[in-house]
Structure formats: C-alpha cells, structure tokens
Amino acid sequence: MITQEPIHVKIAEFILALNVPEDVSFVLDGGFEGFLAERSAAAEEREIERERSAFAEASVDERADLRIFCHVGCANAPKSWGKEIYSAENEEQALWTIYEADGGICIHVNDSEELTRLQHIAFYQEEKQEWTIYSDLNANQELESLRYPMLPLILYYLTTKTESLLVHASGVFDGEHGRIFSGFSGVGKSTMAGIWESAGAMLINDDRLMLRKLDGRWWMFNTPMYYTDVPKKAPLDFIYLPFHHPENTYERGNGIQMSMRFMAHCIQHGYNAAHVQWHLNQLMDISTEIPITRLGVVPNAEVLTFIKQHEQA
C-alpha cells in the first residue's frame, strides 16, 4: 500500500515526490538529509481535503516535477520490457541495462558493490514524468529505492527534458563569481576546489554538479552524495577545463571547440539521438553566455590571482 502524502526531495530546485509503501521501512541514505523538503501548509490542507473526499487521488502531487512510485521486490516487477537498447558496462559486467517498454523505458540496475546482483527494476514514462521502481530490500530489510546509482539515473533523464545538464566538475563561489572546473579523474578538479575553499570560497561540490538555466541565467547546484550536505546554489560565470602544467596558462577558445571539449565531461548515455541533440543545444547555449577556458595549472594559491587577472582582461 502506498502512503497518501509523498516524501518530497528538492534537488536543483526540482521537486521529486516519492510515493512509498506504508508497510515497510523506507530509507534514504545520509546524503539526502539536507535535501528533504519540509511539509508545507498547503500539503496539510490537501490532506484534509483528501480525507473529506472519497474521490481524491492520494498519489498525485501537483507541485512535483517528477513522481516516483516505490515498490518492494524486483521479482514483483511486471515482465513488460522489450529488447535491450543500451548497456553501461564496467569491464565485462553491466552497471545497468536499458530496455524498451510500453510508454518509455525499463532499466535493470545492478548493485554498485556487487554487480552480479540485481538491485532495481525501474520503469520511466517520459511524457508522464513518472518512475515506478521495484527494489529488493537491503540487509536491514529496508527499502532504498534511490540507492546509488538510481538517483543519478533519474537526474540524468530530467536533463533530457529540461534546460539542464549533469557534469563531472567541482564548483566554487567566492561571493562574486561562480566557477566550475570540469574534467576526467586526475586533472585537478578537487585540487582546484580545495585551493578556492582554503581562500574562503564556498564549495558547491567537488565531483558532480547539476547545471540549470533559470530565469534566463545558468546556475550550478550540488546533488545528494554519500556524505551529508545541504543544498547549494551559485551563478555560473566561468567554466574551466584544467590540466596539470609546469606553468599557469589560460586558453579561451571559440564556442564550438570548447563546447565539444566540455561535452566530454557531461553525463550522457549516447544511445538516444534526440537526447544527444538536446544536450548539445544546452551546451551551445552555455557557450554563447559563459566563457569556457582550458586552464594549465600549477596547484598553489598563486593560480587564484592568475585566474582573476585573466578574467578581467
């Protein structure tokens, strides 16, 4: 049985409404704690109205950008998926596999710590903006419907319908400008974030960011991680693609050239041409508004002065 009032999670100003069973212990890991949206007075009023009306639909929440229906047991999922259309693999083992399904897709998600074990079977209906997730209970007999990597998958599909992107990057805000440092592992994203943080800047996140265009401007947001944090938001003013170098260098390129380099660090699956084109459109929009720069870095505090001087040039 599904509870009447959903649990609301607010990520990058998206509202996710989780409808969970009332006869099982439902948990979100500690990284979600700061992202739980408080129950509003309007929600209280809606519950009162539902109690007065026998015809109210308990699972519908008009405030939500996305509705997620959580169920126990992969074995209970309807066997309604079709042919395989994409598989994300780590060496020879699939992390997750995507299949065709009526009205959308079905994703089989394996346990990130034990890839031979199926963890979730999730159905996504794009037009309805609804997920239905069947998950096996954890070792404590608790339901963890958003256990990694389920949440990043959900956020990814939000970026295929909205002016947004998920990107491997660290982000900082010094009170005046927001900057992200994007690249593959080992290029210095976390190092740069740490240098800025040591100088008093606010660290938005040092690994994964969601970028959103709101009211005509691009912003960066953190998302729930494995550690406890609070929601953070900052304007996006500069994008850097850092790399280790014997001296600090600053190379600002043209829109197409730098957009393609930046796109390599955006999270995308690539199997759906419409999604790829949508993300490309977002990247081209970003490149017309925000400078993208290759940054050769000597990782010490002097690089901050170097960056600021070149930003003003």
Report pLDDT digits (tens) over 116-149.
999 999 999 999 999 999 999 999 999 999 999 9
Q: Domain check: are 155 and 12 in the same one?
A: yes
pLDDT given at position 50: 45
Averages of pLDDT over runs of 10 residues in the chain (313 residues) are: 77 96 91 81 48 39 85 96 93 91 96 93 96 96 96 97 97 98 90 96 95 97 92 97 96 82 92 94 93 95 96 87
Instruction: Report d(CA 150, CA 155) in Å as an integer.
Output: 9
Q: Domain check: are 97 and 174 in the same one?
A: no
Instruction: Report d(CA 182, CA 241) in Å as an integer.
Output: 5
pLDDT given at position 195: 96
Q: Domain check: are 190 and 293 in the same one?
A: yes
Instruction: Report d(CA 312, CA 213) in Å as an integer.
Output: 24
What is the tally of structural domains in the chain? 2
With CA atoms as reference, report the closest residue to 135 among 101, 99, 110. Answer: 110
Q: Looking at the domain assignment, is residue 2 inside a domain?
A: no
Q: Domain check: are 40 and 110 in the same one?
A: yes
Q: Domain check: are 109 and 12 in the same one?
A: yes
Q: Domain check: are 207 and 289 in the same one?
A: yes
Q: Domain check: are 54 and 137 in the same one?
A: yes
Q: Looking at the domain assignment, is residue 1 inside a domain?
A: no
Q: Looking at the domain assignment, is residue 16 inside a domain?
A: yes
User: Which of 116, 144, 159 is at the close of a domain?
Assistant: 159
Q: Looking at the domain assignment, is residue 218 inside a domain?
A: yes
Q: What's the pTM value of the predicted model, to 2 decimals?
A: 0.89
**Amino acid at residue number 33:** E
Q: Which two tokens stand for residue 217?
A: 């401007």
Q: Looking at the domain assignment, is residue 150 inside a domain?
A: yes
Q: Looking at the domain assignment, is residue 248 inside a domain?
A: yes
Q: Looking at the domain assignment, is residue 306 inside a domain?
A: yes
What's the first-to-final CA gap in the chain, in angstroms? 61
Task: Supply the CATH number for residue 230's domain.
Answer: 3.90.228.20
pLDDT given at position 101: 96
Cα 73 to Cα 104, 151, 160: the distances in Å are 21, 18, 28
pLDDT given at position 138: 94
Q: Domain check: are 38 and 171 in the same one?
A: no
Q: Domain check: are 155 and 18 in the same one?
A: yes
User: Which of 125, 159, 193 is at the close of a domain?
Assistant: 159
Q: Domain check: are 171 and 266 in the same one?
A: yes
User: Which of 159, 194, 222 is at the close of a domain?
Assistant: 159
Q: Domain check: are 257 and 306 in the same one?
A: yes
- Domain of 137 in residue numbering reads as 7-159
Q: Domain check: are 153 and 200 in the same one?
A: no
Q: Looking at the domain assignment, is residue 292 inside a domain?
A: yes
pLDDT given at position 29: 86
